[in-house]
Amino acid sequence: MKREMGIAKCGLACCLCSGNDTCAGCNSGECPGRDWCENRNCSMEKGIEGCYVCDESCSKGLLGKIKPLGFRTFIQRYGVETLLDCLERNEKNGVLYHREGINGDYDDFEDVEALISFIQSGK
List the chain pLDDT tens, one digit each, 123 residues.
Answer: 888 888 888 888 988 888 777 777 777 777 777 788 888 889 989 999 998 999 888 888 888 899 999 999 999 999 999 999 999 999 999 999 988 888 899 998 999 999 999 999 998
For residue 62, give the nearest of 110, 24, 12, 113 by alpha carbon.
Answer: 12
Cβ–Cβ < 8 Å for 44, 51: no
Per-residue confidence (pLDDT) for residue 102, from 0 to 100: 83
The whole-model pTM stands at 0.89
Angle, helix 112-121 to helix 80-92, in steps of 10 degrees:
60
Max CA distance (Å), the chain: 38
The amino acid present at 102, given as its one-letter code, is I
Per-residue confidence (pLDDT) for residue 14, from 0 to 100: 85
Question: Residues with Cβ < 8 Å from 3, sequence gap 6 or more?
Answer: 15, 84, 88
